[in-house]
Amino acid sequence: MAFYTYILYSETIDRYYVGSCQDLDVRLTQHNTGRSKSTKAGSPWQLKYKDTFATRAEAQSRENEIKKKKSRKYIEWLISSAG
What's 49's domain CATH number? 3.40.1440.10
Confidence category of residue 83, pLDDT binned at 50, 70, 90: low
CA distance 55 to 62: 11
* 19: CB partners within 8 A, 6+ apart: 5, 6, 8, 27, 63
- Domain count of the chain? 1
pTM of the model: 0.95
pLDDT in tens, 42-81: 999 999 999 999 999 999 999 999 999 999 999 999 999 9
State residue 1's pLDDT score. Answer: 87
How far CA 58 is from CA of 12, 42, 55, in Å, comes to 31, 27, 5
Phi-psi region of 12 (alpha: psi -120 to 50; beta: other; left: phi over 0): alpha
State residue 82's pLDDT score. Answer: 82
Q: Which domain holds residue 16?
A: 3-82
CA distance 80 to 73: 10
